Amino acid sequence: MAIRVWRYNYGLGTIYAELDKSKTSMMDIIQKAFSIAEDFGYIYRVAVSTESIGEDAFVETYNLQGVGSFEPIHQLHITTKAPTEEFLTFIKKHPDVNELCFTLSTTGINDKGQTVLIGGAVDLIIYLNTDEEWGMNIFINTDIFVPLSRVKDACTEAMAETNAPVLKRLLENCLTLFPVTEWEWLDTLYYTETYLNLSVKNK
């Protein structure tokens, strides 16, 4: 049996960015996260942490597709493109929110040329510390976007040529639509930065 040429939960890397909280608000961040996700694919899961309740104080899942990750999918079925009333009500009632986690999913092209679901492709985590600058981590959870770590050949190069622009657009949207003051790559595979070649330069 052939070895799959990409891996799940083995990311291309992580981006950390600092945010200027004087130029945004929690509601603004939530709205922008949903807008960014719609361009990428969709939000699958939202998790909120608060000082008083702790982790996963509020959790919602959306847009279930009926197929597993990396299985062929003809078309995404997206029913939730904006924050729900329950989500917004929780935020308004809990001023001590200190973390927002958005799990984003999308589709990609596999080594057989099939469109497949990439569930939980990226986690976008916003840190809302009261006494410090706000921060953002973008965790890339699969290397299907640039699947060159196991095999680099015509097939994986073609996959990267097709899939990498989807990830690149997401990262650039995050770094331009949120009020980022500075950012950096963390824990990247050796070719990630040069291959994606983000147009957003560090400030």
What is the value of pTM for the model shown? 0.94
pLDDT-derived band at 116, boundaries 50, 70, 90:
very high
For residue 203, what pLDDT is reported?
62
Segment 50-95, tens digit of pLDDT: 999 999 999 999 999 999 999 999 999 999 999 999 999 999 999 9
- Token pair for residue 20? 């200027």
CB atoms within 10 A of CB 165: 12
- Whether 2 shows a pLDDT value over 70: the answer reads no
The separation between the first and the last C-alpha atoms of the chain, rounded to the nearest angstrom, is 47
Residues 6+ apart with CB under 8 A from 29: 100, 126, 178
